[in-house]
Amino acid sequence: MRKFRELACVIICISVCVFAFGKPSAEVLPSWNETSNRQRIIDFVNLVTDEASPSYVPKEERIAVFDLDGTLFCEKPLYLQVLIAAERLYDQAEKNPVLRDIEPYKGAWKRDWGYISDHTNFLEMNLTAFEGDTEEEYKKYVEDYLTGRKNPDFKVPYIDLFYVPMLELLDFLRSRDFELYIVSGSPQEFIRVFSKEKINVPLEKVIGDTISVAFEVREKRAVYIRKHAVVEPEVLREGKPENIRMRLGRAPIFAFGNSNDDIAMLEAAFASGLPNLSLTLYHDDGEREYAYGKGAEKVLKAAGERGWAIVSMKKDFKVIFPEGITRE
């Protein structure tokens, strides 16, 4: 009888460490350290995907939403879409000297980083820089920038600075039949340039700031021309869960962000009425990435009060970027 009990214990232990697909837990999220946050994610996913669990969530309700900048990839020294808009404004001012004394061209032309990095100017810069362009022209400019420009600290193209542990998390959730959505204040068409290739998120699962377009037919081809207007509500703060609801008709049960602008999105999962997990990424690794808390003070406080997971880049991430990418 004693041997039988010992054998039963061994079987139970093995079962706990193996997922439904027969994959040992050590092989899941391998770029994460074995911390309580990693285990919390694994436990949550196991519970909501186990049909025998009282916390089981049907596939159609397994909605996971992720912020982009600072959550999936590096947002320093400045948001990538803002750098791209500033570069386009500079190009336009270089060709037309009259623009050099008119904002937002003036700030971009003078490389005034105080102006460029002021968040109150971001929308105007994005709207002005590509007004009148077709979506195809905008996409081409973004692609050229992504392949031709490098982060000054890491010496690699900005678009290569996705966080490996976060990409593993996307894959893990995807393997367990979660529907993944990017919900970001970045322009929607900007994200769609690389979402499928870089993070395997199809175009229709990108929810970003939407620039209004005008429809035309040119030489028997449909074209969409960017206007100087954004579709309300913007995908920031309360606009995040509002856009999620309008697009999906459901609330998420898994939400991951990194800034004060993500609080409402994390609340949407937290108050979904279903088993849920909300997480925020804390940038506290100044050696491997950047250490900063500005713009995240409120979300960190909210996480502490509501019991959301605060994922530390320093403590929870075994590695941050792909092999060979280090900060100089």
Chain segment 269-290, per-residue pLDDT in tens: 999 999 999 999 999 999 999 9
Q: What is the pLDDT of residue 22?
A: 47
> By C-alpha distance, which of 280, 284, 283 is closest to 305?
280
Q: Of the given ranges (19-28, 29-38, 179-188, 267-276), which has the lowest mean pLDDT?
A: 19-28
Of 146, 171, 142, 166, which is closest to residue 156 (Cα–Cα)?
146
pLDDT bucket at 84, cuts 50 / 70 / 90 = very high
Q: Calculate the CA 100 to chain-centre distance.
A: 34
- Core vs surface per residue 212-224: b (16+ CB within 10 A) or e: ebeeeeeeeeeeb
Domains parsed from the chain with CATH numbers: 1-30 (no CATH), 33-76+162-316 (3.40.50.1000), 80-148 (no CATH)
Contacts of 21 (CB under 8 A, 6+ apart): 175
